[in-house]
A = this chain, B = another copy of it.
Amino acid sequence: MIRKKQDYATAEEMASEQREISVAEFFAKNRHLLGFDNPNKALLTTVREAVDNSLDACEEAGILPDIVVEIAPVAARKEGAQLLLDGGNGKTAKGLSGAERYRVAVQDNGPGIVREQVPRVFGKLLYGSKFHRLRQSRGQQGIGISAAGLYAQLTTGQPVRITSRTGARKKPHRFEVQVNLAKNKPEEREEELADWDASQGTRVELEIEARYQKHGKSVDEYLKQTAVANPHARFVFRDPQGGELVHERSSKELPLAAKEIMPHPYGVELGVLIRMMKDTPSRSVKGFLQTDFSRVSPKVAGEILKRAGISEGYHPKTIARDQADKLYEAIQQTKIMSPPTDCLVPIGERQLEGGLRKEFEAEFYTSSTRPPSVYRGNPFQIEAAVAYGGKLPAEEPVNVLRFANRVPLLYQAGGCAITKAVGSTAWRNYYLQQPKGSLPIGPMVVVVHMASVWVPFTSEAKEAVASYEEILKEIRLALQECGRRVGIFINKRRRDADESRKRGFIEKYLPHIGIALQQILKFPDGARDKTCANLKTILEKTRQA
């Protein structure tokens, strides 16, 4: 085929088309990466991002969270407002979604947000306080709530509306914020309110295209699970059908405040080490190692530098690349204490079990909190709990509830380390059926919680935990502990059932034996009854031996 020259581009022509892509544009075009791929999930993701922020803020400020979630339908789209898109094959493709419009509002009693920060928190992607610190919190990326705002803007053209008040003696402020897509910058409108019904807190309202469902992966289910993992929080949910559901708090104990830690030397990559040395205010490499990392004592720092052949007083900024390489190697070869783990705040065995009791009716409950562990230099801690029996469905795979830093994970179960660990635990040892490599079958709910300063999610949508070997192992150990206790319960119940079945036989057949003996041996009635009583005693003894 002969093609004309002008169809092709030169390096110069190609260069003229190169330009910067704003992160807002990027995520607008790829919004499925953030959990907004369908109207169901978009609703859930929007609520989750707002509630996550509310819970984080309340806990950081030492306030027992009171959170109200409202979802109300907005004047629905006209009938027939559907895409009638002809595919190349001449068939009519379905409409994009059949979604409706909802107004989502989440209000908390938290510390509020200072005026100057509101536009950026809601109108700029990749902005926040949680990314740069190593501290256990629900949010960690600085994307969530601004992505929800972006989604609102894309689907309904409406800005996010924020009302915030930082104290009873402060004026409440109301904002309308949009993201400038090309610049990833907020565009806002602000007004001071004369009054507001809340003395403190934040209210976020978004108008989005969504679909509401009561069951399955729903806001209802998300709030139910959130209540399990956050027994100290109270939730009120007003659904689009006019219903109101309250999850009361089952504990008035605020979780311990999570502590921020410095990175552990083992978790830092060479490139990051080089960058840290450029940025540190320390003027000696020894000081740098001690202050910018956790668990580096003067002795350990000295040991590392000796191994690397770098003198202690060396200025970090002047360290050459090959020296950095040696320093990195030396760190890997030096025995350094594990990172501190008091930065982790598990839910706690008692609290987790309490939450489970509140939400699921069963016969037996148990829970287990593992000691903290470490993956890639990041401390983490696993907890598991199990509810068994009662009205839970007996013939289905067990219900696995997954949590990361107290946030329920409802999607991507198949790709999650938690599901994998449940499937690869040998539940048959604990008297449960289990098809090979699958979830066990039985009337059971399994809860697994991972607390960490940095949860390794498999995507920005924070739907599943990545399968690090260290994490899988800890989950399995926690499950085994719960499993053993459930096994003892199941086994005992089985023996009891066996027992009463046998007792039943004795009680059923013994009178007939008595009558038969009476007829054969011509007993009087008294002798017959006595014989029966004797026989019963003998049989019971034999059986118990």
Binding site for B on A (CB under 8 A): 1, 3, 5, 7-12, 14-15, 17-23, 25-26, 28-30, 32-33, 37, 57, 60-62, 77-78, 80-89, 93-94, 96, 111-114, 116-117, 120-121, 124, 126-129, 131-133, 141-142, 150, 153-158, 166, 181-182, 253-254, 256-257, 266, 269-272, 274-275, 279, 321, 324-325, 328-329, 332-333, 335, 337-338, 341, 370-377, 379, 381, 414-415, 454, 456, 458-460, 466, 469-470, 474, 477
Can you sample 8 A-B contacts with CB below 8 Å? A10-B61, A18-B128, A20-B127, A21-B126, A21-B142, A23-B23, A81-B329, A155-B269
Distance to closest chain B CB from A150 (angstroms): 8
Contacts of A128 in B (CB 8 A): 18-19, 21
Are the C-beta atoms of A155 and B271 separated by less than 8 Å?
Answer: yes
Complex: A469 Cα to B97 Cα, angstroms: 12
Are the C-beta atoms of B78 and A329 separated by less than 8 Å?
Answer: yes
Distance to closest chain B CB from A439 (angstroms): 17
Decide: A3 near B89, CB < 8 A? Known: A17-B133, A271-B157, A415-B415.
no
Decide: A272 near B28, CB < 8 A? Known: A1-B253, A114-B12, A324-B157.
yes
Are the C-beta atoms of A466 and B32 separated by less than 8 Å?
Answer: yes
Are the C-beta atoms of A26 and B126 separated by less than 8 Å?
Answer: yes
Complex: A474 Cα to B87 Cα, angstroms: 10
Distance to closest chain B CB from A165 (angstroms): 9
Contacts of A376 in B (CB 8 A): 96
- In this complex, the member of A87, A124, A381 whose beta carbon has the largest number of chain B beta carbons within 10 angstroms is A87
Distance to closest chain B CB from A239 (angstroms): 25
Contacts of A329 in B (CB 8 A): 77-78, 81
Are the C-beta atoms of B274 and A157 separated by less than 8 Å?
Answer: yes
The quantity of this chain's copies bound in the complex is 2
Are the C-beta atoms of A337 and B86 separated by less than 8 Å?
Answer: yes
**4 shortest interchain CB distances as A-B pairs:** A8-B62, A154-B271, A17-B129, A21-B126
New contact pairs (12) apart from A21-B131, A84-B332, A85-B338, CB-CB < 8 Å:
A1-B254, A7-B62, A11-B166, A14-B60, A15-B113, A19-B127, A21-B126, A32-B458, A33-B460, A78-B333, A88-B370, A156-B270
Complex: A100 Cα to B339 Cα, angstroms: 26
Contacts of A121 in B (CB 8 A): 18
| Nearest-neighbor residue (CB-CB) of A140 within chain B | B29
Q: Give the residue of B83, B325, B332, B373 whose beta carbon is less than 8 angstroms from that of A83.
A: B332
Complex: A275 Cα to B469 Cα, angstroms: 46
Are the C-beta atoms of B374 and A88 separated by less than 8 Å?
Answer: yes
Complex: A329 Cα to B96 Cα, angstroms: 13
Q: Give the residue of B3, B20, B81, B458 whose beta carbon is less than 8 angstroms from that of A126.
A: B20
Are the C-beta atoms of B470 and A87 separated by less than 8 Å?
Answer: yes
Contacts of A460 in B (CB 8 A): 30, 33
Q: Give the residue of B89, B117, B469 whose beta carbon is less than 8 angstroms from that of A18.
A: B117
Complex: A375 Cα to B95 Cα, angstroms: 10
